Amino acid sequence: MTENIIETRNITKEFNGFKAVDELNLQIKKGEVFGFLGPNGAGKTTSIQMMVGLLKPTSGQVLIDGQDMGRFNKASIGVCPQELVLWDNLTCKESLKLIGDMYDVPKERLKERINTLLQDLILTDKADTLIKNLSGGMKRRLNLALALVHQPEIVVLDEPSEGLDPQSRRVLWKYISSLRDDEGKTVILTTHLMDEADRLSDRVAIIDHGKLLRLDTPDNLKKEIGEGDVVEITLNDKKNNNEVINLLDKNENFISVYEVEGKINLRGFNALSKLPLIMEELEKKDIHIEDLSMRQNTLEDVFIELTGTSLRE
C-alpha cells in the first residue's frame, strides 16, 4: 500500500508516429481531487485512458496502488464520460440496476446503493421517470450516478459540469467534494471550467502537447504563475499618483504599477499579503487612500500563461 493511488512512469503514447503523450510522470494521491487540465488536443483524454486501463502505453508504466495496471482490478475504477451514456426508455432506477447487475453488486446492497445515489444526487422524485423525460441537469447527475453504483475507489469525471446551469453546477460540485471528504474516494477531474478546477481540486496538473507543464495546488500556482493579482488604488488627492507610482515601481515585489483613468493599478503575486506594505509606504508619505479593490490572480491566468493560448476548439 502506498500514499499514491496512481503513478505514471514515463508513459508515452504514439499514433502513427505522433506523440499524443510524451513521457508523462504523475503521482495522484489517495483521497484527493486531482484536476487534470489542458487545451483541447493536449493529451488529457489519452493520458486518462492509459491510467484507467482503456489504452496501453507505447512505453512506460502505470501503477495503481503500487501494482502494475495489468494486475489491478479495473472494477475499482468508475468513469463518468463527458458524453451522456443513458438509455432513453429506461427509468433512473432501472438504469442504475442495470449497471449494478453488470458489476455483480449483490441484490440487497444494490438496492441500498441505488436509493443512496438517487437521494444524494437529488433524483429520488425521478426514480421511476423515463430518462427521455429528464432535464439536462438531471441526466448529467444520473450519468455520474451510473459511474458510482459499484462504489469504485477511483472516480474519473470528464467535464462533469458541461452544459449545466449555475444551480445544477453547485449541486454537482458539492457532491464531488463529498466523494472525497465523506467517502475517501480519489477523484480525477478534467474540466475546461477554471473556476471548477480551482474550487474542487487539491492539486492541479496542466499539460500541453502531451507534456506536463506544472503540477501543484491551485493556490501555489496562482501565487507563482500568471499575470498576478491586480490592486486598484484611488487616492484622496490624485496629484500624488505619480509619486506613489514611482515609489511602488521601485519595489521588486510588484510586477507593474501604472495609472488607469486616475487610479493606480498595481500588479503582483499574492498581493493580499503585500497590502500592509503598500499602506505602510503611503503612510510614511502622509498619502491617504480613498478606495482600494483587488482582483486576485485566477487559475485561468495561470492556464493561459503556461499554454500560451485560450481554450482550443
- pLDDT digits over 112-122, tens only? 999 999 999 99
DSSP codes of every residue in 60-80: EEEEETTEEGGGS-GGGEEEE
Q: Which of 203, 188, 204 is nearest to 78 (CA)?
A: 188
In the chain, the domains with their CATH numbers are 4-223 (3.40.50.300), 228-296 (3.30.70.980)
- Residue 117 pLDDT: 96
**H or E element at residue 142:** helix 136-148
Residue 81 carries which side chain, given as an amino acid letter?
A: P
Integer Cα distance of 125 and 48 in angstroms: 34
Lowest mean pLDDT among 64-78, 146-160, 200-214: 64-78
pLDDT in tens, 201-243: 999 999 999 999 999 999 999 999 988 999 999 999 999 999 9
pTM: 0.86
